Amino acid sequence: MKKSQHAVAQSAGKICVAVAIALSVPAYAQTDGSNIQPQAEKLLRNMSDFLGKQQSFSVTIENSLEVVLTSGQKLQYTAPASLQLKRPNLLRASRKGDLVDQDFYYDGKTLTLFSPGNAFYATAAAPATIDQTLDMARDKLDIIAPGGDFIYTNSYAMLTQDVASGFYVGKAVVGGVKCDHLAFRGKEVDWQIWIAEGSKPLPKKYVITSKLVPGEPQFTVYINGWNLAPRLSNMSFSFKPPKNATRIDFLRMTTDAESAKR
């Protein structure tokens, strides 16, 4: 998923942890034009299918990124986040961290981004579904929702869009939960995912490595607190600006062709 994953890596800044692990990589089977080991493909599809069938859920997320200074020194930042979703067209998320303080609202008609710290907000008309709105937010507004890689009804297609190879690493424990550890390679990013064992194959950890940034920085996501039967009011997905809030416009992205016309 080059567009989403690389956008996450770029928006995270110059993130980095250098990790070298000697692994014996098994032989791959050809799958959809990619060299993805069948076991890795099956586990990732199971996760995608399971999440895609969930009509509502809530989750808490802990993002961790490392910024690489020009001196080569690395700084680490964290950004806790939470997300509530009701398919097909309700989504709310928030980030409260070292670098960002934002709330993300989608009520089926509009997308709003609110920054409580300075009381600024921007609103735009949005498509009719969560999937379409995530695409619009990423491609036109350069906005990535927390946990966006897993919100799509078919996250497998998004995650493997630009995958060149993938394999099953083995068993691992994340947050006390036994998981299957998978690793994938692409032209611009490598990524790993840890998926819980059992009848609820939920993602528990996710690491993106941006290979185009010096030092090959990483962006790590710990996904905790899954609730697959939350009690969510439709009203909680609609944004009502505080009295002291100021409305501003989104800075929309433009293509090279559009820029040339100006």
Using DSSP, state whether 230 is helix, strand or coil.
coil
Closest CA to 146 of 227, 55, 85: 85
Name the band, by pLDDT with cuts 50, 70 and 90, for residue 7.
low
| Domain-located, residue 141 | yes
Q: Where are the beta strands (DSSP E) in the chain?
A: 30-31, 34-36, 56-68, 74-86, 90-96, 101-106, 110-115, 120-125, 163-174, 177-186, 189-196, 203-210, 218-227, 246-247
Q: Report how far residue 54's alpha carbon sits from residue 199's, in angstroms, rounded to the nearest whole number.
A: 13
Q: Phi-psi region for residue 216, left (φ > 0), alpha (ψ -120 to 50) or beta?
A: left
Give pTM, 2 decimals.
Answer: 0.83
| Domain-located, residue 24 | no
Using a 10 angstrom Cβ sphere, with 0-12 exposed, 13-18 middle and 19 or more buried, the burial of residue 164 is middle
**Mean pLDDT for the stretch of residues 167-193:** 97
Q: Residue 214: what pLDDT?
A: 84
Domain that holds residue 209: 2-17+32-249
Q: Report how far residue 24's alpha carbon sits from residue 258's, in angstroms, rounded to the nearest whole number.
A: 47
| Domain-located, residue 261 | no
Using a 10 angstrom Cβ sphere, with 0-12 exposed, 13-18 middle and 19 or more buried, the burial of residue 240 is exposed
pLDDT single digits (tens) 23-80: 333 333 334 446 999 999 999 999 999 999 999 999 999 999 888 888 888 888 998 9
Q: Report how far residue 174's alpha carbon sits from residue 194's, in angstroms, rounded to the nearest whole number.
A: 8
Domain count, the chain: 1
**Mean pLDDT for the stretch of residues 78-84:** 93
| Domain-located, residue 23 | no
Q: Residue 12: what pLDDT?
A: 42
Please report, for the domain that includes residue 178, its CATH number: 2.50.20.10
Q: Residue 98: what pLDDT?
A: 75
**Mean pLDDT for the stretch of residues 193-211:** 96
Per DSSP bridges, beta strands 246-247 and 120-125 are parallel
| Domain-located, residue 262 | no
Q: Report how far residue 17's alpha carbon sits from residue 74's, in angstroms, rounded to the nearest whole number.
A: 8
| Domain-located, residue 260 | no
Q: Report how far residue 208's alpha carbon sits from residue 65's, in angstroms, rounded to the nearest whole number.
A: 10
Q: Report how far residue 6's alpha carbon sits from residue 255's, in angstroms, rounded to the nearest whole number.
A: 17
Show the CA angle centred on residue 201, arms to residues 200 and 203, nearest 5°.
125
pLDDT single digits (tens) 108-127: 999 999 999 899 999 999 99
12-21, 84-93, 142-151, 199-208: lowest mean pLDDT where? 12-21
Inter-residue contact 221 to 63 (CB < 8 Å): yes
Chain-wide mean pLDDT for the chain?
A: 85
Helices (H), the chain: 2-11, 38-53, 130-141, 148-151, 155-159, 256-261
Name the band, by pLDDT with cuts 50, 70 and 90, for residue 89.
very high
Q: What percent of the chain has pLDDT over 90?
A: 65
| Domain-located, residue 27 | no
> Is a pLDDT exceeding 80 seen at residue 91?
yes
Q: What percent of the chain has pLDDT over 70?
A: 83
